[in-house]
Chain A
Amino acid sequence: MDNHGSYKSLINIWILLMFLTVVTVGAAQFDFGAWNVPIALIIASVKAGVVALHFMHLKHEDGLTWVFASYPLFLLFLLIAFTVTDMFSRVVN
């Protein structure tokens, strides 16, 4: 049976997540121009990664679970990459 981490470590993770939320909201107060979205997405991904690894115990799962957890991300990337590429390469010469 898997029995990982302690209550304290869970709460520490939570504090980290709260901190990152503050950072997200804070960062939104400044205008980084084209970097607004990437910055927001990077912070969100760090948060998501922390939730997945610690709250969802992905850290302790086997390789198979990692494959199933990450493959949809790849597909999502494909879906977005191809559709966006299409949308912005339609200029006709």
Chain B
Amino acid sequence: MSQEQEKNYLENGEGFASWFFTVDHKRIGIMYLWAIGVFFIIAAIASFLVRFEHLTPGQTIMTAHTYNVLFTLHGSMMVFLFIVPGVAASFGNFLIPLMIGAKDVIFPKLNLYSFWLYLLGAAVFMIALAAPADTGWTFYTPYSIESGANVILITFGIFILGFSSILTGINFIVTMHKLRAPGMTWDRLPLFCWAAYATSLLQVLATPVVGITLLLLIGERFFGLGFFDPARGGDPVLFQHFFWFYSHPAVYIMILPAMGIISEVIPVFSRKPIFGYKAIAYASLAIALISFLVWGHHMFVSGQSKLINVIFSVITYAVAVPTAIKVFNWLWTLYKGSIELSTAMLYSLAFIFLFTIGGLTGLFLGALAADVHLHDTYFVVAHMHYVMIGGTVFGFFAALHFWYPKMWGRMFDEFKAKIAFVLIFIGFNVIFFPQFILGTLGMPRRYFNYAPEFQSLHQLSTYGTWIGAAGFILMLWTLMRPLPGKAPGNPYRSLSLEWSMDSPPGTFNFDEIPTITEPVYNYGTKIEEES
């Protein structure tokens, strides 16, 4: 036994089976990381081609149908295969037990099955690419009923992925309720765990609705059920209601874990306690609850009634406030700190700034009159990417760098990683900022063709993808080639529990379950008068 304890989790067993059948949450987390990484790259290539097509109006490198297929592939893959399972399932799996002082999640086998379900769903999804869907990731009826593409398989794949998501969510929630170490009270729980908890709640409660929706869509295609088909007396707007009942909370499934990540990174590199711990923790929960009440703001011009539009607009502004509070809390954590600009910190700071832009542009879309003009234009595309890339993906990259020593037991080249960051940051803004202007000018989204007057902005946006891609490749290159030598257990002098052990951790995390006696962000030695 003691022999085994000395081995870290990476060394404990070799070969494919030792990974594929493992119940070790850390290995499962790593496998998720690889899987979502692969899908991220495929989907990113699709978006790269889509942008390339826009170098000139009309046909540049592909036909209209190919274009429609590619943006559908990009959207659905990014959403369902990368970003929804992404941060929660990979870093959540790896970190939650370490952070709460447990040896594993509460249902280790179920955890493995969830991963298998994820792979199965992804496989079905990939098989569907034989006749790829051209419906957009939203699958709006009745086009998705009539389209000649393989909509049934692709939605069935997503259905399976949904179950994987639900089971992971249940696992995390119960783990956090039942397996916290002694003294790890809720008000000492790391904010990443709070965020993962809120995320899991959303996964568990929102996913089934999209599950039945997609099942009914399959039924529409098989039997002509007619719920969503106006030709059969159904209502396409109902499909949108069901779809967004899931997909709006899903936005928070995507962003909350990233918020959790930067709540971990910023205190460490500022050597300050997180400002307003309770506010951030409760804001996570508040967002999780309110996000179920705002789905209709995706449908202001869909034919939804005016009354419902107004109600949804009001509630939408209510969810903006806790988000704003979080931004200021992160900002004020920096105040009077001792700030080290590590790569992870750079990504986190960029998160604050870009997410602020993403959030503020959301204010445009929540306003009824403005949304009538902006809906389904590039403005929405830009807004969404500022939240999803500037938010989630930057948070994800911050995590990749921050926990790199813990995961792999090695360090990476900070200098190269910072150059990669600069390229990605510039590239990202060059891609998406022009799209805000395209949107306000009235350029509709999902357009293969466009009017010549939009060409310069479109070209600028396309050039951005080249800068971003260069940065991303440099980042991968850097991370794939760690520096020689073993990483120390706690290179950043963090106080969080996962850093209290060797890097990488042993198979069973803790030889002995620790007892927690202090708040988690207990930085700051100079005692000041509290206001």
Q: Which residues of A contact B (CB under 8 A)?
A: 64, 71-72, 75, 78-79, 82-83, 85-87, 89-90
Residues of A within 8 A of B245 (CB): 79
Contact between chains at B293 and A78 (CB < 8 Å): yes
Partner among A75, A79, A85 whose Cβ is within 8 Å of the Cβ of B308? A85
Q: CA A85 – CA B312 in complex, angstroms?
A: 12
Q: B308: nearest residue on chain A (CB-CB)?
A: A86
A83 and B238 form a contact (CB under 8 A): yes
Please name the residue on chain B nearest to A92 by beta carbon: B306
Task: Specify which chain A residues have a CB less than 8 angstroms from the CB of B303 in the assembled complex.
Answer: 90
> Taking the nearest CB of chain A, how far is it from the CB of B221, in angstroms?
22
Within 8 Å CB of B293, what residues of A? 78
15 residue pairs A–B, Cβ–Cβ below 8 Å: A64-B177, A71-B205, A75-B205, A78-B292, A78-B293, A79-B209, A82-B241, A83-B238, A85-B305, A85-B307, A85-B311, A86-B241, A87-B305, A90-B303, A90-B305
What's the count of A-B pairs with C-beta under 8 Å? 38
Please provide the 10 A-B residue pairs with the shortest distance between their CB atoms, ordered closest to farther: A89-B305, A89-B307, A90-B305, A86-B308, A83-B241, A86-B305, A86-B304, A79-B245, A85-B308, A75-B205
Report the contact-size class of chain B (Cβ under 8 Å from the partner).
10 to 19
Contact A72 B205 (CB under 8 A): yes
Main secondary structure on B side of the interface with A: helix
- A58 → chain B, closest Cβ, in Å? 17
CB of B235 within 8 Å of the partner chain: yes
Shortest Cβ distance from residue A93 to the other chain B in the assembled complex, whole angstroms: 9
B296 proximal to A (CB < 8 A): yes
Q: Which residue of B lies closest to A64 (CB)?
A: B177
- Which B residues have a C-beta under 8 Å from some C-beta of A? 177, 205, 209, 235, 237-238, 241-242, 245, 292-293, 296, 303-308, 311
Most A Cβ at <10 Å: residue of B177, B242, B308: B308
Interface residue SS majority, chain A: helix
Complex CA–CA separation, A13 to B476 (angstroms): 63
Interface pair A89/B306, CB less than 8 Å apart: yes
B307 neighbours in A (Cβ, 8 Å) = 85-86, 89
CB distance from B202 to the nearest CB of A (A): 11
List A contacts of B235 (CB < 8 A).
Answer: 87
CB proximity of A72 to chain B, nearest CB, Å = 6
**Which residues on the B side are within 8 Å of A83 (C-beta)?**
238, 241
B316 to chain A, nearest CB (A): 13
